[in-house]
């Protein structure tokens, strides 16, 4: 029997129960994906990459926790942190001290070293599980700095890293049940900043002018050097 009281957590828990019932009592797999604010950035520009949990079916999927490995090329991108600006209030959301696993987040400060990988983890609060909707639940927003020009560089979510670290999503209704779906990626293009483009243009024009002057035919009475 399902009882709804409009008292914060009780009402939300009832809604989560009806969501599971709508899918036959089984929580559907949850896909993890990136949605960058823009896929083209200037060198030196900050890039916001939204991290989403998405139900793989037409019903909401209750989520208890998310463990995700992040992978990028540190020659082109630098992870600078995250912003917990999603609609759900996680009990915790960030880069934990994973020295007991593979140490991807060393030196275990607020932001991991820019070595190309990191380990993100979020836990549900005590009121109600998070709901990954078919449209997607914004989990957190990652921030990167564009370091160097490139036509394409990827940010991915590997399934595993090292010996012990895994990417997985845990069901918000059945304790310990993993409901990991597809793992996404995104592509970023980095272009030179305007000042660099202008300088490059001047250098090209200057080189062209010098070539034209050096190959100018000698006129009457003039000796070519």
Give the DSSP letter of residue 192.
Answer: -
Whether residue 66 is contained in a domain is answered as yes
Q: Residue 9 domain-assigned?
A: no
What CA–CA distance (Å, rounded) separates 213 from 81?
Answer: 52
In 10 A of CB 39, how many CB atoms?
A: 13
Question: Is the residue at 186 inside a domain?
Answer: yes
What is the model's pLDDT at position 195? 62
* The pair of three-digit structure tokens given for residue 27, joined into one six-digit string: 């929580």
Q: How many alpha carbons fall within 13 Å on the CB side of residue 51? A: 26
Residue 64 lies in a domain: yes
pLDDT at res. 63: 99
pLDDT for 3 beyond 60: no
Please state the pTM of the whole predicted model. 0.79
The residue segments making up the domain with residue 191 are 28-214
Give the model's pLDDT for residue 2: 39
Are 131 and 19 in contact by the 8 Å Cβ rule? The answer is yes
Q: Is residue 222 part of a domain?
A: no
Within a domain: 23 = no
Is 12 a domain residue? no
The predicted structure's pLDDT at residue 70: 99
β-pairing, 117-123 vs 46-55, is: unpaired
Examine residue 97 and state whether it is found in any structural domain, yes or no: yes
- Sort 27 into a burial class: Cβ within 10 Å, 0-12 / 13-18 / 19+: buried
> How do residues 148-172 score in pLDDT, each as one tens digit?
999 999 999 999 999 999 999 999 9
pLDDT at residue 25, rounded to an integer: 73
* Structural domains in the chain (count): 1
- Domain of 145: which CATH number? 2.60.40.680
Q: How far apart are CA 132 and CA 63, in angstroms?
A: 7
């Amino acid at each position: 029997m399902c009882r709804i009281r409009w008292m914060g957590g009780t009402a939300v828990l009832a809604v989560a129960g009806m969501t599971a019932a709508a899918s036959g009592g089984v929580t559907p797999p949850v896909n993890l994906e990136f949605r960058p604010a823009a896929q083209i950035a200037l060198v030196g520009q900050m890039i916001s990459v939204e991290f989403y949990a998405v139900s793989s079916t037409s019903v909401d999927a209750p989520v208890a926790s998310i463990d995700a490995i992040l992978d990028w090329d540190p020659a082109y991108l630098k992870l600078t942190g995250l912003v917990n600006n999603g609609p759900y209030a996680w009990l915790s959301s960030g880069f934990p001290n994973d020295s007991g696993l593979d140490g991807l987040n060393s030196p275990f400060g607020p932001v991991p070293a820019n070595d190309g990988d990191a380990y993100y983890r979020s836990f549900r609060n005590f009121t109600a599980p998070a709901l990954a909707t078919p449209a997607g639940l914004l989990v957190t927003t990652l921030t990167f700095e564009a370091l160097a020009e490139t036509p394409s560089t990827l940010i991915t979510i590997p399934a595993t890293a090292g010996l012990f670290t895994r990417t997985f999503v845990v069901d918000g209704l059945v304790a310990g049940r993993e409901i990991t779906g597809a793992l996404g990626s995104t592509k970023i293009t980095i272009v030179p900043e305007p000042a660099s483009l202008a300088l490059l243009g001047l250098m090209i024009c200057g080189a062209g002018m010098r070539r034209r002057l050096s190959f100018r035919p000698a006129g009457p009475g003039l000796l070519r050097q």
